[in-house]
Amino acid sequence: MSTSCSNTSIATLPSSAAEWKHVKNILRGKTGQYEVVCTYCDKPYHTSGVTRIRAHLLSSVGFGISGCAHVPDEVLSFFKALEHEKRVFAINESKKRDFDDLTSGALYTLCILCIQCSE
């Protein structure tokens, strides 16, 4: 087994995101992109992160990748739920930011003080 003769190397995953569990043969290309193969339809493609993996599984348009024809229903609904959660989280985060702006971060300072006191 040779370890260094190709343009790719076995990738260390950039994150433990769930998307990586649905691809196989993950290799890191020289450009920094990952070469992967879909676990379900065996489609080989490249991606720089989990966004394209999810786009393939969810058949999302606008990511330059075709949808997966063999993704199991439970995987599909898992990622649909995840997408929904992220959207809700993003909305909540922007609300929180608005609040922080209003209080000029005073609430955050207060929280730090509380943590210090309770020790």
28/43 with CB nearer Zn ion: 43
Residue 79 CB partners (closer than 8 Å, separation 6+): 18, 19, 54, 57, 58
Considering the complex, what minimum distance in angstroms separates the CB of residue 9 from Zn ion?
24
Closest alpha carbon to 13 in 48, 39, 56, 40: 48
40 binds Zn ion (CB under 5 A): yes
- Rounded distance between C-alpha atoms, residue 98 and residue 19, angstroms: 31
Stretch that binds Zn ion, among 27-35, 66-74, 95-103, 111-119 (CB under 5 A): 66-74
Question: H or E element: which one contains 76?
Answer: helix 73-103
User: Least distance (Å) from Zn ion to the CB of residue 119?
Assistant: 50
38 part of the interface to Zn ion, by CB under 5 A: yes
Binding site for Zn ion (CB under 5 A): 38, 40-41, 43, 68
